[in-house]
Amino acid sequence: MNKEIIINTRSSFPKSSINREIFQSSALLALIVVAVFGLFLSTILYYSEISKAHTVINRTNRAVVFSIEGYFAEIMNTLMVLEENKEIREAMALDAEAHQRILDGYRSFSRSNKNIAFIYSGYENGLMLINNYTPPEGFDPTTRPWYRAAMAIKPETSVGLPYQEIKSKEWLVSTSRALKQSGGGYGGVVAIDCLIDQVVHLLAQHDEYKTEFSFVMDRSGKIIMHPDQVLLGKSLPEMKEAFQQDSNGDFTYRIDNVENFAHYSRSTSTGWTVVTVVEKREILHPIILQVLFLVSLTGVIAVLLGLAQSTLLSRRLSRPLVELDRKIKSIIAGDELYADEYVYPNNEIGIIAQEIGQLAEKELDAKTRALQASEETYKTILMASPDDITIADLSGCVIMVSEAANKMFGYDPEEGPGMSIMDFIFPEDHERARANMVKMLHGNYPGPNEYRAIRKDKSCFDIEVKSALIRDRQGNPFRMVLIARDITRRKKTEQQIQELVRQLEIERDLAQSNSLTDSLTGLSNRRFFDNALRAEFSRHKRSGSQFSLIMLDVDHFKKYNDHYGHLAGDDCLRQLAITLRTVVGRDLDIIARYGGEEFVIILPDTNRQGAAILAERIGEAMLKLALPHAKSDISEFVTISLGIATAADHILTDGSQLVALADQALYQAKKNGRNRYEVMPVTI
């Protein structure tokens, strides 16, 4: 009879399909989400990337401007120092010995600044003073671009004039300044040349884009620095119009059918305009890739939302099942059915619900048997778990434990029930374990927590414990369940990792220390000295405090090496380093090996007199070592020469100028006979 009912019911299934309706509405939702979110996210991404591109080239442009200003500021300051030299101004009226002194000074400045290719001066009488260069026959300095540029804007400095060297045709960047004669007129020009490749290196820096580059235009709109030397001296009218009004800004332009984004800034110190350019297609390429990715991602999200909507609609259509559930519960509880009994719809769910309701009473006994079987299954799972599962009352008394717990702690199965959970935990961890139990009882579930555990044989090991409360139908806790896992191996691995991290940190610190220390003498190296000099010079500029610099080297050290050998030379430098450490006693003073046999000492808060006293002590201490020097022209022992310069005595813009002054003083000490010190005078 039941079989007949089922057959008749199936034949009465409605023609409309709930699943089809749900699918159609979910598909429509997915389509709308893909269209709306795809368009929205693509638009946001496009404008975000464009904004990012402007930010990147703006940042690169600022970095290039700062680099060029710093590069030429040092050159301009050097020119101003040279212009103040009376011998350079009056060179036309001086003899060959004076000319040689001028050339020696040029050489000293060149050694102190690696950016300088040539320092020279030309005069209206055709005189040309330059080291390591022989002008061609018939050379007239007054016809050269650097000479004419300086004379055209005197008394200002002509900065960044690109020109080709007359002999090698090599491109140079010249910065020049007219020399005022005692009589009042201008009779010459002093100039400093830099290789244009050095300046182009500053322009070549880029941030994120491969097509990104920078170039420089002068006040007239001509290109004076460009990675492509073919464009030097040319004008780009389309760019000049873009930045005629403002000192900086963004613009776009097209060259050879390639659209570019650009940002320009005007240098306040040189008056040049620095332009940074990147091709638009390089910016758009990652945008397209990300748009495709976002569209795909949005499609996946839309499908998930469609599935979520399907689930939601299914629940809304599941009321017949809810009513069926209520009816079955009433049958199980023996309650009478409500008078206004729910009328099931005429669809698949409604028909199935009616059949299930008719069979509910018959299934009650089967459900009871299933519950009993489920309880047995629960016990089987409990005993088969690889982790310790313990059920205890709220006081911590063990009620039941899994077989894994017996193996983990070494107790027989019958020994566990009745013990306290604290019997399994190391005594020093009891207080923390009780505190975590109190937190759990108040609804603040701790964990997982780690404890030291004790086996029956009193051996210890590490465990991780997760805990939870078992509640009755009214929601009141009456049991707690604890799941423990042996983590001894994991703790050992973590400890090994920590040891490895500590070792790596020690090696990192050692590597950092070695990078700032001279391996031969143990003193600070050139890199450390440069950083320390910048910091001390900044402090000097802020506070106005005095600080001095001593530069020294070993007299006739090459002869010493040639006679005694390089190993003896290395030992000589080590002995000098030890002497410097002994004589220079203050912790704030910095001693560094500058290069070869040259050493430098930074003396914060020290005036000229203090530096001179210390220099004399160093020279005397070196003589007391009595290191034989058979090839020395001035002493039978190793001697040193020292040069002193004090920052407060001169108007300086950076520490490198102080190094140059100390180097000049050292040169003067050697010139005056060696084995002595010289102090750079206040006026040079």
What are 454-475's pLDDT values in tens digits? 888 888 888 888 888 888 878 8
What is the average pLDDT across 115-128? 89
The average pLDDT across 548-564 equals: 96
Read off the amino acid at residue 101: R
Structure tokens at 339: 């008078």
Residue 342 has pLDDT above 80, yes or no: no
> How many Å apart are CA 437 and CA 442, to the nearest integer?
9
**Dist. CA 344–CA 347, nearest whole Å:** 8
The tokens for 156 are: 């200002």
Q: Would the CATH topology of 385-491 be identical to that of 526-679?
A: no
Domain-by-domain residue ranges, the chain?
A: 20-317, 324-375, 385-491, 526-679
Per the listing, tokens 């090991």 go with 461
Domain 20-317 class? alpha beta
**106 three-class SS:** helix
The pLDDT of residue 645: 95
- Strand, coil or helix: 395: coil
Give the pair of three-digit tokens for residue 343.
């009328």
Tens-digit pLDDT profile for residues 16-35 = 455 566 666 666 776 786 77
- How far CA 235 is from CA of 68, 241, 254, 648, in Å, comes to 20, 11, 15, 46
Min mean pLDDT across 24-28, 415-419, 567-571 is at: 24-28
pLDDT confidence bin for 362, thresholds 50/70/90: low
Out of 481-485, 655-659, 675-679, which region has the weakest mean confidence (pLDDT)? 481-485
Predicted confidence band of residue 121 (pLDDT cuts 50, 70, 90): very high
Q: How far apart are CA 468 and CA 482, in angstroms?
A: 7
Over residues 531-541, mean pLDDT: 93
Q: Which of 623, 624, 645 has the alpha carbon at shortest distance from 635? A: 623
- Strands (E) across 27-155 are located at 118-123, 128-130
Q: Which CATH number fits domain 385-491: 3.40.50.300, 3.30.930.10, 3.90.550.10, 3.30.450.20?
A: 3.30.450.20
What does the pLDDT read at residue 7? 31
Cis peptide bond upstream of 345, omega within 30: no
Better-predicted residue by pLDDT, 53 or 121: 121
Average pLDDT over all residues of the chain: 80
Cα–Cα distance for residue pair 299/38, rounded to 1 Å:
8
CATH class in words for 526-679: alpha beta
Sheet containing strand 186-195, strands side by side = 128-130, 118-123, 186-195, 171-180, 157-164
Whole-Å CA distances, 551 to 78, 317, 548, 582: 20, 92, 10, 17
Nearest to 219 by CA among 261, 158, 146: 158
DSSP state of 139: -
Q: Residue 602 in 3-state DSSP?
A: strand
The pLDDT value given to residue 666:
96
Q: How far apart are CA 671 and CA 549, in angstroms?
A: 20
pLDDT digits (tens, 9 = 90+) for 312-321: 655 555 566 6
Strand partners, 162: 173
- Residue 383: per-residue pLDDT: 62
At 374 the three-state DSSP class reads helix
CA distances from 617 to 29, 523, 577, 614 (A): 89, 19, 14, 5
* Secondary structure letter of residue 425 according to DSSP: B
Is the pLDDT assigned to residue 533 strictly greater than 50? yes
Q: H or E element: which one contains 187?
A: strand 186-195
Enter the pTM of the model. 0.38
Residue 618 and residue 319: Cα distance in Å, rounded?
Answer: 100
Is the per-residue pLDDT at 260 higher than 90? no
- 8 A C-beta contact, residue 200 and residue 232: no
Q: Burial, 473: exposed, middle or buried (Cβ in 10 Å; 0-12, 13-18, 19+)? A: exposed
- Give dist(CA 407, CA 461) in Å, integer: 13
Contacts of 197 (CB under 8 A, 6+ apart): 171
User: What are the beta bridge partners of residue 50?
Assistant: none
